[in-house]
Amino acid sequence: MEIKVFKNFFKKVFSGIFRNKKEIKLGFYGPPNAGKTSLANRICKDFTGEEIGNVSKIPHETRSVQFKEKVEIKYKGKSMQFKMIDTPGIATKIDYEDFLKYNLSKKEAKTRAKEATQGIVESIKWLDDMDVVVIVLDASENPYNQVNITIIGNLVARKIPVLIVANKIDLRKADVKKIEAAFPEYEVIGISARNGTNLEEFYESVFKLSKKI
């Protein structure tokens, strides 16, 4: 813990000195299938013309940490450079049989399950290396999930600024207010990564948080 405090202290001092040269590590965390890669893709596509990773209806499509460096986000005449880090969705259980429902063969399902468990371990390890984190939640799902609380708790303990995004507001079941009620201490932005809805507000919040580091 003491080492972490020193590490954070030096990180803050040096990032202050070299602020203009450094790119901000922007992590996307959250449960599987919340739309982390969809949001990261939308941003990367808008500002670099390229996507960061594949998306799928099958959970755990992202099974290793994916990066896109030097993404310069421009918003209202200002610009900031980010290293986008898209992480595998964090879960507490993985059952290969759940993937069989999506017409995967038993072998494919087992491989996917194995890679998904490794991806979760990798996601957790990366928590130490983020500057700002966007927690992407599915606005149509129950937010009272311990995984969400655990991720946020870890970021708070590391003093990493957090923004909560309630994705999929285009869905009928979406309830942004429920997410706001579950996390009253944090700013919650309702968006649709698929349709690109409300991204202006999202960029404004990311810029505001990034200035804090």
Chain contacts with another protein (rule: CB under 8 A): 90-95, 113-114, 117-118, 120-121, 124-125, 127, 142, 144-147, 149-151, 153-154, 156-157, 181
C-beta closer to another protein: residue 11 or 178: 178
* CB of 92 or CB of 195, closer to another protein: 92
- Least distance CB 88 / another protein (angstroms): 10
- Minimal distance, residue 31 CB to another protein, in Å: 12
Sign of CA dihedral 39, 198, 192, 128: positive
Q: Is 28 exposed, middle or buried (0-12, 13-18, 19+ CB in 10 A)?
A: buried
3 state DSSP class of 186: coil
Cα 160 from Cα 203, distance rounded (Å)? 18
Nearer to another protein, 58 or 182 (CB): 182
> Cα angle at 129 between 127 and 131, to 5 degrees?
100
CB of 132 to another protein, least distance (A): 18
d(CA 96, CA 157): 33
Complex with another protein: residue 154 or 197, whichever CB lies closer? 154
Distance CA 91, CA 209 (A): 26
| Shortest Cβ 119–another protein spacing (Å) | 9
**Cross-strand pairs, 192:** 197
Smallest distance, another protein to C-beta of residue 120, A: 5
Please provide residue 81's backbone torsions phi and psi, each rounded to the nearest 5 degrees.
Answer: -100, 130
